[in-house]
Every structure is written in C-alpha cells, then in structure tokens.
Amino acid sequence: MREDEWVIGVIGGSGLYAMDALENAQSIRVESPWGEASDELVIGEIAGKRFVFLPRHGKGHRIPPSELNFRANIDVLKRAGCTDMLSLSAVGSLREDLPPGKFVIVDQFIDRTFAREKSFFGAGLVAHVSMADPVCPSLSDRAEAAAKAAGADVHRGATYLAIEGPQFSSRAESELYRSWGCDVIGMTAMPEAKLAREAELPYALVAMVTDYDCWRDGEDHVEVHDILATLSANADMAAQTVVEFAKALPDTRPTNPLDTVLDISIITAPDARYPAMLAKLDAVGKRVFESQ
C-alpha cells in the first residue's frame, strides 16, 4: 500500500448491511484486542479506490446500540489499513425543515450516552484528543458533493444528539434537545466519532433522516414500522452516495492534519507507559509509537 493511497472505511447504519458496488470483494474476519467487531469486513474496490465496509449492527441488525463494540469496530478498520472513515447513520429529525428522506452532513455532536467505553486510552497510557471540531471538513465536503450527485436532498451542517437508547426519546426530552439547538438525534455516532479521532482516522458522517422525533404537536409517536420504509429508500441512496464519493476521489490522497493528532495528545511519558496498553494500541498508536 502506498503512503498516498486512499483506503476508505465505511460503516453502514440501520438499513445498510451490504455494499453491492464493491468489486473484487472479499470478506475477512479481523481479530482485535478490544473484542469482537460487529461483523466481518468486506474489502473491495469502487471506481479503482479501495473500500472497507462494516455493517455497524451486523448483518440482519443483530446488535443494539448500547452493545456495539465501538472500540473493536474502529480498531479493525485501522488494522485493515483505512486512512479515512465515512459513517452512514439513520437519525430522527428535531427540525421541521429536515423531513424524512433528507440527508444531513453533520458537523457537531452532543454526547448523552452513558453505558459505553469511549476511549482506547486509560490507566497506563493517557491521551486527550481535541473534539472541538469532531468531523473532517474536507471529507465532509466530499460526502456532501457525493450525496448531491447521488440525487439526495442534502443539508450541510447540523448538531447530532447521541442518546443511549435503545428506547426513543420522551416528548419532554425531545423538546429539551430542541432547546439546546440540536438538529438530529441518533444512538450510534458516539463514541464512534471520538474513537475515530483517537485512531487518527478523518471522519465524516452522513445522517439519513427516517422520521421526525416525537416533539411535533399532533404527531403520532415514533414506531419502528414507520421508519422501515424510509430506511429502505435511504439505504439505496446511501449506497449510491458511496459510489459517487469513490468516483470523485483524486488518485492520490493528500496529507490531512488529523493524520497526526496523537503527536500532541498523548500525555504519559514513554518510560511510564504500561506494556499491556501499548500492546492493545498496536494498531491505533502504531505510527506515533514507532516515531518516538
């Protein structure tokens, strides 16, 4: 693999469990010291660029949000050589002008999850990465252009409220999140985006609106069966978005400031780092540890 080669990791959310556009596809099981990933990785090419696909909830949607092994998912993508990460995620809308079927390019998050491991780092190897700007702007530009080329109705710029789930919000919660200025709501972007940053993977999120959250007066509350029909249509558009994304990629990948965030984030002195933590971080921190 060349240093300037694109390898795009794609995590498919609810309704997107396969990537039929992949050519020369092969499924591989990648082991991780962080446990089991959601499923096998499917590696192939689209428009001559290498892509690695992982269904976030596993084929058949087996794994609920709180039981996703986010660390293993990001770790196996890193081990597979991914340089960048495109996340596709189903969301509810907290705004009247973001109706079902809309595609939203997210740029901010509020994390209200509480039952998940949120970092690769910990006792014996401490790091603090910045999440002030949690997505990669250049990758988000490419995602926006690809969704528009695929024919999607796209909105750029939104705050994603991540809840623990698996239950949907109460009306009071939904109104609270709207008062905070949140635009869409989901259950899976956190800690995914945080872990991608720690793994030095530039990250963009395309949120696919399936429903209005329960804040609308006179609106029936959210039911899964109401969401499934929109999910199907969104999944087809999302798959075409990935194709358009691949077609527009330049032949060589430019360097990205997010490729080296760990250079300024690890605080534990080299001689104080626990060997067991170094071993678990052999993929996530390989670049920075080898340079020290």
Active-site pick, 107, 141, 211, 251? 211
Nearest to 74 by CA among 26, 25, 129: 129
In a domain, 74, yes or no: yes
Residue 16: what pLDDT?
83
Query: Up-side HSE of residue 162: CA atoms within 13 Å toward CB?
Result: 24
In a domain, 282, yes or no: yes
Residue 29: what residue type? Answer: R
Active-site pick, 213, 220, 259, 263? 213
Mean pLDDT by 10 residues, the chain (292 residues): 89 86 96 98 97 96 96 98 97 95 97 98 98 98 98 98 95 96 98 98 96 81 67 86 98 97 97 97 95 77
In a domain, 98, yes or no: yes
In a domain, 1, yes or no: no
Q: Which two tokens stand for residue 256?
A: 């990205």
The pTM for the full model equals 0.96
Following DSSP, what letter does each residue of 165-199 receive, concatenated? -SSPPPHHHHHHHHHTT--EEESSSTTHHHHHHHT
Residue 225: what pLDDT?
64
Residue 262: what pLDDT?
98
Q: Which two tokens stand for residue 13?
A: 């959310």
In a domain, 212, yes or no: yes
In a domain, 33, yes or no: yes
222: DSSP letter: P
In a domain, 276, yes or no: yes
List the CATH number of the domain containing 31. 3.40.50.1580
Residue 291: what pLDDT?
80
213 is catalytic: yes
In a domain, 191, yes or no: yes
Q: Is the dihedral of CA 119, 104, 55, 14 positive or negative?
A: positive
Report how many domains make up the chain: 1
- Dist. CA 17–CA 209, nearest whole Å: 17
Residue 222: what pLDDT?
60
- Which domain, by its residues, includes 55? 7-291
